[in-house]
């Protein structure tokens, strides 16, 4: 919705409307069934927010999501805090695809085991738990700070029986858990920004969000390479690897899969403009 409204605002502005913001807000109010108009003048105070402090923090570059402590994702409000990447709308494409993959797998196999690498705020893991049945998600992150945020979201949405959290670097987090060769799906929203491009993201991102969730090395493919190489050891034959990529990285990702040689049914998915998600199946007899 956010990106949609931003696009609508730009169109109103480009067409020369006298007050494009007013036009956009009115449209949003109508679409929301009047909820914007119904908001009381003191809604910030009721939410425990001080507008002056909020503005000061925003001037310093602190993201609104960190100030408010929450961010929308897949129709839900997730808790977020410094130390974990802010859930973003573009990652909903990966999550929706994974929900579809799980549902398809369950036509042949009722119970599904998912391994998520780099869970951050836990938004993907929790969304999968909320939107699928008979699914166990083992989610990991390299930092304790991120796992602390993810743990709060697991508790917030009551999915503790379906989501288990681990700390560690990529697949090392699952050592000793008996996951090798058993995962039906490995999912990841990895870092994919080249080191030299981080400064282009602006201070809102690089000064506040965890750099380890963004920096993917000199060419932006460090984690992709490790992910593609490491996933076959944990996937069952016929299991699937799925992950988000940056715009314009599709050709190099396709080459990495072909070079690896352990995958088949390599597929990519776009957001209406750019390819942003890849999936591939581990070669071998399907279950």
The pLDDT assigned to 206 comes to 45
The domain limits of the chain are: 2-62, 89-282
Q: Which helix (H) or strand (E) holds 184?
A: strand 183-188
Q: Are strands 70-73 and 183-188 parallel, antiparallel or unpaired?
A: unpaired
The class level of CATH for 89-282 reads alpha beta
Q: Residue 177 and residue 250: Cα distance in Å, rounded? A: 33
On the 0-12 / 13-18 / 19+ scale of CB atoms within 10 A, 206 is middle
Q: What would the pLDDT profile of 24-38 be if each residue is shown by its tens digit? A: 877 777 766 666 666
Indicate the pTM of the whole model.
Answer: 0.82
| Residue % of the chain over a pLDDT of 90 | 46
Q: What would the pLDDT profile of 196-244 be if each residue is shown by its tens digit? A: 444 554 554 444 444 444 444 444 577 888 899 999 999 999 999 999 9
Report which of 55, 104, 42, 96 is spatially closest to residue 73, judged by C-alpha positions: 96
Q: Which residues of the chain have pLDDT under 50?
A: 194-198, 201, 204-219
């Amino acid at each position: 919705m956010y990106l949609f409204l931003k696009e609508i605002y730009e169109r109103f502005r480009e067409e020369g409307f006298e007050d494009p913001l007013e036009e956009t807000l009115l449209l949003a109010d109508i679409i929301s069934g009047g909820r914007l108009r119904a908001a009381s003048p003191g809604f910030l105070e009721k939410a425990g927010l001080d507008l002056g402090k909020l503005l000061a923090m925003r001037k310093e570059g602190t993201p609104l999501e960190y100030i408010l402590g929450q961010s929308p994702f897949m129709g839900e409000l997730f808790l977020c805090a410094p130390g974990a990447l802010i859930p973003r709308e573009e990652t909903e494409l990966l999550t929706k695809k994974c929900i579809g993959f799980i549902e398809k797998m369950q036509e042949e196999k009722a119970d599904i085991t998912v391994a998520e690498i780099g869970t951050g705020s836990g938004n993907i893991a929790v969304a999968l738990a909320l939107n699928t049945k008979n699914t166990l998600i083992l989610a990991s992150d390299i930092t304790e700070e991120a796992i602390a945020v993810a743990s709060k979201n697991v508790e917030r949405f009551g999915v503790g029986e379906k989501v288990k959290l681990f700390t560690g670097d990529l697949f090392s987090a699952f050592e000793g858990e008996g996951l090798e060769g058993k995962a039906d799906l490995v999912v990841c929203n990895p870092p994919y920004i080249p080191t030299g491009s981080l400064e282009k993201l602006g201070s809102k991102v690089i000064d506040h969000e965890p750099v380890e969730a963004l920096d993917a090395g000199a060419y932006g493919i460090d984690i992709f390479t490790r992910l593609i190489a490491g996933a076959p050891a944990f996937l069952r034959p016929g299991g699937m690897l799925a992950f988000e990529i940056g715009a314009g990285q599709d050709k190099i990702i396709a080459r990495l899969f072909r070079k690896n040689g352990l995958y088949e049914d390599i597929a990519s998915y776009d957001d209406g403009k750019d390819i942003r998600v890849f999936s591939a199946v581990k070669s071998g007899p399907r279950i």
